Amino acid sequence: MSANRKHQPKRVSNMQRNLRQPMRRDQIRERRGNKHALPLKKEFKKAGGREILTIKTQLLKMIVCNLQPLGITEDANFLDFAKALKPAQQIPTKSVMQSLLLKVYKEKEKELQSTLTSVEDIVLTCELWSSRSEDSYLTVRCHFVDNLGSLKSYILKTTGLFGDESPANILNQLSAIMETWHVTEKVHTVVTAGMPQLKGSKTRWTHIPCFSDILNAIFKDVMNNNELSSVLNKCCNIIRFLKYDSEAEKELRELQGKLHKKQTELIMCSRDRCLTWLDMLQPLDEQYSVMMIVINERGKTDLILNESDKKNIKNVISALEPLKEATSMFKGKGFETISVVVPVISKLMDALGEEAKRKNHVAKILLSKCQLEFGNVNEHKLATVTFLDPRYKNHLRDNAKNLAIKKIMMELSASKENSADKLKVQLDKYKAYKPNAQESNPLAWWRYTGKEEFSLLSKHAVKRLGVVSTAVPLEKAFSRAGDQFCNLRSSIEPENLNMVLFLNSNWSTQS
């Protein structure tokens, strides 16, 4: 027995390997990418519902959550930083991280596959985007409501389109992803962003364009007006000059200090996200009197705004503030049910109407575009879904509620299990039901209270309210975070793109 104990440390088992210790022979083989290296050990285990990660896996999690390249583990500065923290710590090479990425991806993929087997109704969102190399990709997410009434969202796949952005290829890729995940028969709605070419395509599912895409397109169209485009380009040049000329910015800050003026961050807008124009123009409008001193001293007379320019800027700001206020009805992060779209449109159009009465020609143009796109809010095709949201049903007029009731009756009466009379009684009772607080969760309400009070409507309501309003998370739909995310995403190596984005979305941030 003593002989066995003497030789026992020489055996290398998966459970004994520990990155906190100096490198042993098996670890050296891993670092060299030796094909005979021992298998990776179990990288995480559960403890009290939490994942306890090894250092190597925690490093991978940091990389995928921040969309960093795997090669960061071989970067000299990163290695120096790690060495400064703990000199004995051995940092795995890119090839080891590549193996670990694949392993963790397969495990999380298997977990999600298992989760989806018990889900009945699934909504997909699809985003078409391009990398810096102009290769186009399709990122597909799935969304469903769990038994507790929480909306769950997971990325399924990111696939390259190889230059073919035709409706046929997009639909073929989408169908292939559904088949791979065995959800073809469960998908009832697909929300798309960046794919106007799909309009009019015949599919077995309901196709809905991303709401933020529509709003951004409306604003972009308005800003293409020659007069507005000219002044907005000048504003971009002002911010660009002050942000990238360090001496000019220093002079600006010193002047603001002397004059006791507010020092607000200078922000460059994203031309594809309307609310970032507001982020840029508000500080510019507030600080322009001081900016003009710096601009004059620097001889940048081409950047000086005339009175007409200033008036246009104030009009754009006044027209965008109602949009910001209206979209604040979204909770801000993740995905929001599509039932909020009609209340947002209604609030936006009312506010733009008030601005138009004040002779704001930008608000008038925006209002006209919104009326053309959305029509009568109470007759909007999403009004029925809004009626099923206990928070917003009273945002509709009585005639719109009655039309919603008729439509729901038609949809549910097709089932032999539902009596038309009983349906009508429950719908009328729900119509008279006191609205819920805006902060409440309509999905959870229908899973519990709504199921008890209106049993014939509950399943249908959860299915309809489980459709999301945007194809991308709300924090990226309107804000600069969307651009920052796109830049990081575009820098990921193509061979790792699908796995990294999958884990970025689906791997819990809790360690």
Torsion 233-238-241-246 (CA) sign: negative
Q: What is the pTM of this model?
A: 0.82
Measure the CA–CA gap between 426 and 458, rounded to whole angstroms. 11
- Identify the pLDDT of residue 10: 43
Coil, strand or helix at 132: coil
Q: What is the pLDDT of residue 53?
A: 61
Q: Are 273 and 216 in contact (CB under 8 A)?
A: yes
Chain-centroid distance, C-alpha 364: 30
Measured CA to CA, the distance from residue 349 to residue 366 in angstroms comes to 9
What domains are there in the chain, each with its CATH number? 2-108 (no CATH), 111-216+486-506 (3.30.420), 218-334+342-372 (no CATH), 375-465 (no CATH)
pLDDT of residue 483: 67
Report the pLDDT value the prediction gives residue 33, as an integer from 0 to 100: 38
Smallest CA-to-CA distance from 17 within 35, 29, 32, 2 is with: 29
Phi and psi torsions of 65, nearest 5°? -70, -25
Residue 259's CB: how many other CB atoms inside 10 A? Answer: 10
Q: What is the pLDDT of residue 20?
A: 40
Using CA atoms, how far apart are residues 435 and 395, in angstroms rounded to an integer? 10
Of 288, 371, 335, the closest CA to residue 467 belongs to: 335
Q: Distances from the Cα of 386 to the Cαs of 234, 345, 435, 468, in angstroms? A: 41, 12, 12, 12
- Integer Cα distance of 288 and 264 in angstroms: 11
User: What is each CA distance from 61 to 95, 195, 270, 368, 508, in whole angstroms?
Assistant: 16, 31, 29, 47, 9
Give the pLDDT of residue 499. Answer: 92
pLDDT score recorded for residue 482? 63
Helix (H) or strand (E) segment spanning residue 300 = none
Q: What confidence score (pLDDT) does residue 348 get?
A: 95
One-letter amino acid at 193 equals: A
pLDDT at 162: 87
> What's residue 82's pLDDT?
85
CA 139 to CA 407: how far, in whole Å? 33
pLDDT per residue as tens, the chain (511 positions): 434 443 444 444 443 434 343 443 333 333 433 333 334 444 555 545 445 467 888 889 888 888 888 888 888 888 888 888 888 888 888 899 899 999 999 999 999 999 999 999 999 999 998 876 668 899 999 999 999 999 999 999 999 998 899 999 999 999 999 999 999 999 999 999 989 888 888 999 999 999 999 998 998 888 888 888 899 999 999 999 998 888 999 999 999 889 888 888 888 888 778 888 999 999 999 999 999 999 998 888 899 999 999 999 999 999 999 998 988 888 767 899 999 999 999 999 999 999 999 999 999 999 999 999 999 988 899 999 999 999 999 999 999 999 999 999 988 887 666 678 889 999 999 999 999 998 999 999 999 999 999 999 999 999 999 999 999 888 777 766 666 677 777 778 888 889 999 998 898 654 3
Total Cβ atoms within 10 A of residue 42: 12
* Residues 326/351, Cβ–Cβ less than 8 Å: yes
Query: pLDDT for 442-484, tens place per residue?
Result: 999 999 999 999 999 999 999 999 999 999 888 777 766 666 6
Tell which residue, 136, 198, 212, has the closest CA to residue 497.
136
Q: How far is CA 292 from CA 287, 297, 309, in A?
A: 9, 8, 14
For position 24, what pLDDT does the model report? 37
Q: What pLDDT, on a 0 to 100 scale, did the predictor assign at position 416? A: 60
Report DSSP letters for 315-377, one per residue: HHHHHHHHHHHHHTTS-SSS--BGGGHHHHHHHHHHHHHHHHHTT-HHHHHHHHHHHHHH--G
**Angle at the Cα of 72 from the Cα atoms of 17 and 106, rounded to 5 degrees:** 60
Q: Is 343 exposed, middle or buried (0-12, 13-18, 19+ CB in 10 A)?
A: buried
Take residue 503 and report the two structure tokens written for it: 């884990």
How many residues make up the chain in this entry? Answer: 511
139-160 as b/e: b if 16+ CB within 10 A: bbbbbbbeeebebbbbbbbbbe
